[in-house]
Structure 1
């Protein structure tokens, strides 16, 4: 599981950075990737990336401001021409369906895959046997949501030596044990999963928050997250400006990470006023003073989500 940023600028694109979009690449877990927000130009960023639109499985939109979804109609249409024929699920606030359908209808765009648009107002928005995605409303000028992506715990390692001593070789019986089912040995003994499975591997948690002022809803979403992605639009010296525009400073993002007990923090959504490396480093240093394990999100870099013990 890896984070791949394709847009880290706030409001409008700049010569240095594109507007918001982030991929969660899950080749080992699902052989696919999920996209969080789709600012204008996202499909161009994907062309410059190791990602393939044919592998895109889900898109999660945090809110309906243009810098977070103006790239969506073009990307949906292009996916059909780039080998994307599998179903695609699109999640976001009320109004998303109208936006997408209007753009596709008026442009007479044709897609040859099933598009399932799910509007939500928080709660559990997605769940299968591998992942659960929870959402909650934040504090922004319009309805903006954060997402908590929870990887379910994985079965522990099989004791293959013990199984071999009981006449069990690799095959379907291994699968039954990993699914939590007991099996019968050739000698007629019953082996339960508890007999042969080690301690389960803790699933990872990734929290990706939309635009927001600091607010209480962030804490449950970010609690214990292995990776927390948080906007850091301004330095703290502009905290009044951040508040007026419903945004967060780098220091405030670090305070949220601290309070939530997150393992790592990735800063993104930088104001265009911070054009140069030394200016971005001021944001980083401000956050590191509060939460040391902070990184600046860099476009077109892969950040592995490490599994904590």
Structure 2
């Protein structure tokens, strides 16, 4: 599991940074990647990345401002030309379906793969055997959502040597034990999962927020996350402007991370007024005063999301 940022600027692209988009790469977990927001130019950024559109499985849109979704029509249209023929599901706020279908209809774009658009107003938006994704409304000028991606705990390794002693061979019984069920050995002895399974691997939590002022919902979504991706549009000296335009400062992002007890904080969605390295380091240092180790999200850098050592 890794994060890969393809856009970290707020509002408009600059020579230094593209507008918002971040991928959650899940090659080991499900041989795919998920995309969070799709600002203009995202498909160009993917071409410069280790990602392949054919592996794109889900897109999660935080809100309907242009710098977060103007890249969708081009990416959707181009996906098939890059080998993408598997289903694609796009999640986002009410209005997303109208936007996508209108653009595709007017441009007479033809999509030769199954595409679903799922509009939501928060709650559990996705769940399968491996992951659950929850969403909640943040505090922005228009409905803006954060996403909490929760990897489910994985069962521990089977004690193969002990299973051999019990006379249990690889096959369906292994699967039952992995699922936590008890089985019967050839000698009619009942073998429980607890006897032969090692300690389970605790799932990781990744929280990716849309544009927002500091708010209780952001804190709830981020609680105990392994990674928090939080907008940091301004330095705190511009806190009044941040509040007026429903954004956050680097200090406020760090305060949320600290209160939520997150393990790692990535700052993103920077105002285009911050251009040079010195200004960007100011943003990082401001956050580090409250949350040591806070990182600036850099585009085209792969950030592994490690499991805790005790999991």
- TM-score where L is the length of structure 2: 0.98
Q: Secondary structure at the match of 1:142?
A: coil
Is 1:170 equivalent to 2:179 in the alignment? no
What residue number does 1:125 align with? 125
Moved beyond 3 Å, runs of 4+: 169-172
What residue number does 1:19 align with? 19
Report the CA distance between 1:170 and its aligned residue.
3.3
Distance 2:43 2:175 in 1: 39
Is 1:293 equivalent to 2:296 in the alignment? no
Q: Secondary structure at the match of 2:28?
A: coil
Deviates more, 1:83-92 or 1:173-182: 173-182
Contact 1:263 1:293 in 2 (8 A): no
Distance 1:194 1:219 in 2: 36
Q: Secondary structure at the match of 1:217?
A: helix
What residue number does 1:216 align with? 216
Distance 1:161 1:235 in 2: 58
What residue number does 2:111 align with? 111
Report the CA distance between 1:171 and its aligned residue.
3.4
Q: Secondary structure at the match of 2:37?
A: strand
After the TM superposition, which residues 128-143 of structure 1 pair with which residues of structure 2 at under 5 Å, given as runs?
128-143=128-143
Report the CA distance between 1:172 and its aligned residue.
3.2
Deviates more, 1:42-51 or 1:158-167: 158-167
Report the CA distance between 1:183 and its aligned residue.
1.8
Unaligned runs of 5+ in 2: none
Distance 1:306 1:100 in 2: 35
What residue number does 1:194 align with? 194
After the TM superposition, which residues 141-156 of structure 1 pair with which residues of structure 2 at under 5 Å, given as runs?
141-156=141-156
Report the CA distance between 1:71 and its aligned residue.
0.2
Distance 1:208 1:61 in 2: 11
Distance 2:172 2:32 in 1: 26
Number of matched pairs: 309
Contact 1:85 1:112 in 2 (8 A): yes
Report the CA distance between 1:293 and its aligned residue.
2.5
Report the CA distance between 1:28 and its aligned residue.
0.7
Q: Secondary structure at the match of 1:29?
A: helix
Distance 1:75 1:287 in 2: 34
Is 1:33 equivalent to 2:33 in the alignment? yes
Distance 2:258 2:107 in 1: 46
What residue number does 2:87 align with? 87
Unaligned runs of 5+ in 1: none
